[in-house]
Amino acid sequence: MPPRKSDRRQPPASPPGTPAFVPIERQTVMSMTRDAIRDRILRGVYPAGRPLRQDAIAEQLGVSRIPVREALRLLEAEGLVTFNPHRGAVVTTLSLGEIEELYELRAFIEPDLVRRAVPRISDDLIDRAEKVLDAYEASLRSGEVAGWGGLNWEFHSTLYAAAERPVTMDVVHRLHQHSDRYSRMQLALTHGESRAIKEHREIAAVMRQRDVKRSTALMREHILGAGRALLAFLNAQHDAASSVA
């Protein structure tokens, strides 16, 4: 006799104390939802300070509110979303002081990763980083703003991989995510592409020479210089807005 429908659909019982796992399909929907919201924040579609209405986002993305709610909680952990008691989820707003702090933290941590990586890095890793730069430069020249942050992180993280510092890498990745939308805005509006290309190429070349001291100095100045350019741009925007007001 064929099994009843209810028998076919019923999953096997889990042993007592077994943790509940989120089904793979639900994880996939939530991950895709998170990536879509993150991309819209980083591209400025959802600007800083904007409320993120779960029902509206769910409708835009064609999903239920459950993966949206879960995605927003994950983006809160990344620092891109803040939950306000009265307004709900909003896109995180960073002050100029906080942006300066982000770049100072990066300039403190990332040169140390370079210092640790240079004596151990292989030519294959540097070749891989330079191939990422080819794609990054093509994206910069074509104005494909959406891809800049991911390619920039891929370049940096490839150079740092030989340091074998996974906890530090996770911290640095979050710092990159926090500052990404501002960095892309600065590159797009101040035409800093040429400087970024030149400095990245120089860093990769000096790391290939296994020059620890110069590699760390170049990375530190690269990060601090980008931070200074970004802050100068944001201050000029603020002054222009104030003069109009």
What is the full DSSP assignment across 37-95? Answer: HHHHHHTTSS-TT-B--HHHHHHHHTS-HHHHHHHHHHHHHHTSEEEETTTEEEE----
Q: What CATH number does domain 96-244 carry, 3.50.50.60, 1.20.120.530, 3.40.50.300, 3.40.50.720?
A: 1.20.120.530
Per-residue model confidence (pLDDT) at position 243: 65
Q: Which fold has domain 23-91?
A: Arc Repressor Mutant, subunit A (1.10.10)
CA distance 114 to 156: 9
Q: Where are the domains of the chain?
A: 23-91, 96-244
Average pLDDT for 156-176: 96
Residue spans of beta strands (DSSP E) within 85-137: 88-91
Please tell me what DSSP assigns to residue 15: P
Average pLDDT for 162-186: 87
Average pLDDT for 186-212: 87
**Does residue 100 contact residue 233 with C-beta atoms inside 8 Å?**
no
Picking from 95, 179, 204, the residue whose alpha carbon sits closest to that of residue 196 is 204
Q: What is the mean pLDDT of the chain?
A: 84
Picking from 100, 85, 95, 88, the residue whose alpha carbon sits closest to that of residue 48 is 95
Per-residue model confidence (pLDDT) at position 76: 86
Per-residue model confidence (pLDDT) at position 98: 85
CA distances from 66 to 73, 102, 144 (A): 11, 32, 31
* Other CB atoms within 10 A of residue 218 CB: 21
pTM (2 d.p.): 0.68
Distance, C-alpha 169 to centroid of its chain = 12
**Does residue 88 contact residue 99 with C-beta atoms inside 8 Å?**
no
Q: Looking at the DSSP assignment, which residues form a beta bridge with residue 88?
A: 84
Average pLDDT for 72-80: 82
CA distance 192 to 189: 8
106-153 residue pLDDT tens: 999 999 999 999 999 999 999 999 999 999 888 878 777 667 888 999
Question: Tokens at residue 117, please?
Answer: 């990586």
Per-residue model confidence (pLDDT) at position 7: 46
Taking 50 as the threshold, does the pLDDT of residue 8 lie above it?
no
Residue of higher predicted confidence among 162 and 43: 162
**Does residue 72 contact residue 52 with C-beta atoms inside 8 Å?**
yes
**Does residue 187 contact residue 210 with C-beta atoms inside 8 Å?**
no
CA distance 123 to 159: 11
Taking 60 as the threshold, does the pLDDT of residue 29 lie above it?
yes
pLDDT band with cut points at 50, 70 and 90 for residue 19: very low
41-50 residue pLDDT tens: 877 788 888 9
